[in-house]
Structure 1
Amino acid sequence: MAEVFLSLGSNTQRYRHMTIALDSLHQQFGSLVLSRVYESESVGFPGSLFLNMAVGFSTDMSLKDFAAQMWAIELSNGRQLGAAKFSPRTIDIDILSYDDVCGCHAGIELPRAEILYNAFVLLPLSEIAPDHCHPVDGRNYRTLWQNYQSDQKLWPVPFQWQGRDISAG
């Protein structure tokens, strides 16, 4: 079983698409480890506020099949083929890590570079995997977040999923 960590983000019908993505992941992979949900400004383009979170779980799927499944969830949520990299998203599911795989595999660069420079990726990941070490940098995600320096702003927001507030606390 491979341990995977994902980043989920949405700035179009945000609560709806985040809920649908979580439901899809839960249905396909079972128990999920969830960070709080954060709101943040768009990075790289002017746009409406995003919701972001990190999700962790295990899978026996190959990386190639797993990546295809994540893409299928995005497409079923209205993700547009060929959309500009920096543009609004119904749902964006980024594979942050797949076990300790490093380098380009199945067309995916792992670990995902944004872990080290986007607060909306690193903070949620540090919540669900504080003692896991970045496979290239070597430091754990708690330490990476404690040493993070940027002017990116994000803040936790209430978010209900399966009858509970996953952003409480």
Structure 2
Amino acid sequence: MGKAYLSLGSNVLPERNLASALHALRQRFGTVAASPVYRTTAIGFDGPDFLNAAALIESDLDVHDLNDWLHALEDAHGRDRSGPRFGDRPLDIDIVFYDDLVIEGPGNLRLPRPELRHAFVLKPLVDIAPDFVDPGSGKALGELWAQSPERDVPMSVVVLTSPP
């Protein structure tokens, strides 16, 4: 079993899609530690705000099979990868950490995820695992957040009203 630290985001029917994704994670992996959900502005393009969260699961899948499973979950929620890299997304789930693996590839799989530097990824992870040590920097997530230049980026908490 490996511990996977996930970043979840959506800006297309975000409440429904995030609630559905968390439900699917619980159905497949059992207990899921989930962060609060935060509203953040789109980065890299003009679009509706995103809702972002983090989740911690214990997975019986290796990192590559988990990545494939998560892509299938995104696809089931209407994810279209044919458009621009930065755009609207019904569901985006990335593995930020898998245990202490540091890998690059195949495809876009990179651990730790470079998006860790952004508040929309880091803050939710800090909420569920402040003492986890990033194998890339050797620093605990709480320490990375304390040093983050995005620490003051406005992020309001959103309560999901869709059924889990």
Taking structure 1 as the reference length, the TM-score comes to 0.91
Matched, 1:50 2:50: yes
Alpha-carbon separation, structure 1, partners of 2:161 and 2:55:
15
Q: Deviations over 1:37-68 (max 9, x none)?
A: 00000000000010000000111111111111
Alpha-carbon separation, structure 1, partners of 2:32 and 2:141:
19
Alpha-carbon separation, structure 1, partners of 2:51 and 2:130:
21
Q: Is the contact between residue 63 and residue 106 of structure 1 (CA under 8 Å) also seen in structure 2?
A: no
Q: Which runs of 5+ in 1 are unaligned?
A: 164-169
Is 5-14 or 81-90 further displaced after alignment? 81-90
Q: Deviations over 1:108-140 (max 9, x none)?
A: 11010111x210100000110100000110110
| Residue of structure 2 in register with 1:156 after alignment | 157
Alpha-carbon separation, structure 1, partners of 2:16 and 2:147:
33
Q: Aligned residues: percent identity?
A: 37
Q: Is the contact between residue 118 and residue 152 of structure 1 (CA under 8 Å) also seen in structure 2?
A: no
| Residue of structure 2 in register with 1:101 after alignment | 101
Alpha-carbon separation, structure 1, partners of 2:36 and 2:114:
21
Residue type of the alignment partner of 1:104: E
Q: Secondary structure at the match of 1:66?
A: helix
Q: Which runs of 5+ in 2 are unaligned?
A: none
Residue type of the alignment partner of 1:13: L
Alpha-carbon separation, structure 2, partners of 1:45 and 1:80:
16
Alpha-carbon separation, structure 2, partners of 1:148 and 1:20:
30
| Residue of structure 2 in register with 1:143 after alignment | 143
Q: What's the offset of the Cα at 1:147? A: 1.1
Q: Secondary structure at the match of 1:156?
A: strand
Matched, 1:125 2:157: no
Mapping of residues 77-116 of structure 1, within 5 Å: 77-107=77-107, 108-115=109-116
Q: Secondary structure at the match of 1:46?
A: coil
User: How large is the RMSD of aligned CA atoms in angstroms?
Assistant: 1.4
Q: Secondary structure at the match of 1:65?
A: helix
Q: Secondary structure at the match of 2:55?
A: strand
| Residue of structure 2 in register with 1:166 after alignment | none
| Residue of structure 2 in register with 1:20 after alignment | 20
Alignment: residue pair count: 162
